[in-house]
Amino acid sequence: MLTLVWLGVVVAGFFALAYGNAAGWLWTGAIAAALAAAWGAHLMPLLVVIVLAGLLVVLAIPLNFPPLRRALISDGVLAVFRRILPPMTPTEREAIEAGTVGWDAELFSGRPDWGKLLALPAPKLTAEEQHFLDHECEELCAMVTDWETTHIYLDLPQPVWQYIKDKGFLGMIIPKEYGGLGFSAFAHSQVVVKLASRCSALVVTVMVPNSLGPGELLMHYGTDEQKRYYLPRLAKGLEIPCFALTNPHAGSDAAAIPDAGIVCMGEYQGRQVLGLRVTWEKRYITLGPVATILGLAFRAFDPDHLLRDKEDLGITCALIPTDHPGVNIGRRHMPLSAVFQNGPNWGRDVFIPIDWVIGGKAMIGKGWRMLMECLAAGRAISLPSLNTGMAKMVVRTTGGYARVRTQFKTPIGKFEGIEEPLARMGGYLYSMDATRTLTAGMVDLGEKPAVLSAIGKYHLTERGRQVAIDAMDIAGGKGICMGPSNFLGAAYMQLPVSITVEGANILTRSLIIFGQGAIRCHPFVLKEMAAAHEPDARAASVAFDRALFGHIGFMLSNFARTFVLGIVGSHLVGVPDVAPEVRRYYQQLTRFSAALAFLADVSMGVLGGALKRKEKLSARLGDVLSYLFLCSATLKRFEDEGRQGADAALMHWAIWDAMFKAQTALEGVISNFPNHLIAMVMRRTVFPLGRPYVIPSDNLGHEVAKLLIEPSPTRDRLTAGMYLSPAESDVVGAIESAVEATLAAEPIEAHMREAQKAGRFSVKLGEDRAAAAHAASVITADEFAIVCRARKLADQVIRVDDFAPDLGVSEMQPPAVSPAPPARKAAA
């Protein structure tokens, strides 16, 4: 019995030391104490104790004395590590090192400091930014409809283009000293949200110049001369920019673009100057058909060594006026019937002066790093904001439609079959807006969150797509018949565009989120890799030793924490002062954080470089990190908004859904791990007592769905920032009015039904019940007007459009003058 007690204390001591990531000398002291206790209690022979003590001394001295440890252990491991480390190209290294890490590193640590997250200030708008949203943005939205831009003008009307230029929409991110608006990232995001809730062509036209492109590249890397010339012109709309990266043969693998520029002497403005002769072919370039300045990415070569000793100088970015001889531009693509300007451009042996390279001669070959660093921040704003704005419009209109539309004498939003997709739409939107706001706030604090922006781009576009799919299932025939009264069809059709751009979603999930996150967010992997590439032998030895043994302690700690927290249900985790109803979420998220760190280390340790090719495993590990971030953002939103009890159902649904999916991803890693013995250990460690999460309950879904189909402060907060037209002739305005009118009429309708049952009036065949009730003085004239108005608006909302036999082509001719701003004349 005493032996069992001793063994129990030893096991408990192991887990306690590992749980706390104890220092080496504490391990040594604890093992020595255990041996002394075993000898004192006569649990093992003296000879065995002496042998074990000797072995402890032999191991403890080198392990606790770094110079000896390096000589005996670390240097040999370093030599092996250098041989098995997969080669990394310069472009891969630049992509991994781009941007910053912050909360993502905390989530990867196994013990996130929730106080750091909650201490981040909630982003706020300045008075100037709020005024712009309330006035310029509102007026701009009122000038367009998705139907007209898509089916009549095939573009934004000319007055809209001019308004965009005059009011500075194209220069939101450009500092005021250059004539721009100098808006914060959060304000930029809020503008995109509002415009996206109105018209796809409108939001893309405004969004792209304020995202990755000439403006942002010039701000960060341009020469003073380039900034002084171009930034004021871009801010005022005197130049329309586009940026061309994608080649037909290099889409997701953008670093492999075959477009090339040869360093050479050439003639420009009548004199010989140093420059590049560039040949390129690009496609999918937004604003390209109307651009006046082309940002171009190509690989620079210097065969005559006019600049440097090496031939391949690397990816380079340049600015080329579109009326420059040899530039072919102006033709359009039609991406899923969206009419934002988008098209190909190309050129062959086009000579450009070296001064046209962004940043000048010094930045030749540094284009990939420039793009990756700008993308790390820009990707956090554009597509997450666009999809959130679209989702706000879809959720509000679909919820309203589900309240107005009745079948079997019941609003369809009250059927359980409709409640399920409505709940998903509401929960998704709550977490989408939370994630968008948090990442925009991080950018305003100076971060360039490369990994978190990839998470936001992937999950918010995917969730936006699911919101639209659910809405289409609810709308049914109303959603599939295109026309001015269709509030859903354009968003449903065009959502795949967001899925494919700024890193196709399959690529982002399979390769980028975990592939970049595991290296950047892990506290030791990048340090180990840096040490392996360190040319100074002593510096490499010291750095690798420190990283290696830190990594070992980190892995042991997360192994112990994962198992212990699984046994005790994570109740040991301390959390900051948060709402009581969310305390357990913080504890469970900490448990899943430890599990992610443990599984990631085991996967990297066992599979090594092969993990890069195990894209499904990598994707699932990335999913865990992603859902932890979405939950973090959701919980922070709940705190930042003052713990709104009326919104709690949305928060709870979003957390349960994301935690269940994170749990499923953990199970997916374990079930598909190539080594089945290690997989068994993983499962017993991560889920020692089974899996704690299930899908959100039907009762919780019912509460969420109710919030979407009736006016309330919660519904307003959920869809805050979208454009709501006040006109009943507009489909969104009609739905808003119809919901209010329907709710006002319902008690009157109920009163009429009761009165008819009581025999107070009768309805003849073909007679309107409200008219009969009014005639019988059952309802007043005012009540009769309320009922008639509700029915009229309901009829307007459920109506679908129809056209002449030619589908209205003859009725949808654009004005004689093209509404688009003229592009510069393309070269022959």
- Distance in angstroms (rounded) separating the CA atoms of residues 461 and 466: 9
Residue 647, CB-side half-sphere exposure with 13 Å CA sphere: 26
The secondary structure of residue 608, as a DSSP letter, is G
Which amino acid is located at 286 in the chain? T
Task: Judge whether 246 and 254 are in contact, CB under 8 Å.
Answer: yes
The total of other beta-carbon atoms located within 10 Å of residue 524's CB is 18
Residue 544, CB-side half-sphere exposure with 13 Å CA sphere: 26
Which of the residues 502, 528, 703, 749 is marked catalytic? 502
Cβ neighbours of residue 85 under 8 Å, at least 6 residues apart? Answer: 529, 532, 609
Task: Judge whether 377 and 99 are in contact, CB under 8 Å.
Answer: yes
Task: Judge whether 602 and 678 are in contact, CB under 8 Å.
Answer: yes
- Distance in angstroms (rounded) separating the CA atoms of residues 38 and 719: 66
- Tokens representing residue 129 in the block: 């930014």
Task: Judge whether 388 and 460 are in contact, CB under 8 Å.
Answer: yes
Task: Judge whether 339 and 201 are in contact, CB under 8 Å.
Answer: yes
- Distance in angstroms (rounded) separating the CA atoms of residues 680 and 278: 56
Cβ neighbours of residue 141 under 8 Å, at least 6 residues apart? Answer: 194, 195, 197, 198, 199, 202, 723, 725
- The secondary structure element, H or E, covering residue 316 is strand 312-321
- Strand, coil or helix: 258: coil
447 is catalytic: no
The secondary structure of residue 250, as a DSSP letter, is B
Nearest to 589 by CA among 111, 101, 116, 103: 111
First to last CA, the chain: 94
- Tokens representing residue 213 in the block: 């492109």
C-alpha distances in angstroms, 65 versus 74, 582, 822? 12, 45, 73
Radius of gyration, CA atoms only, the chain: 31
Catalytically annotated residues: 502
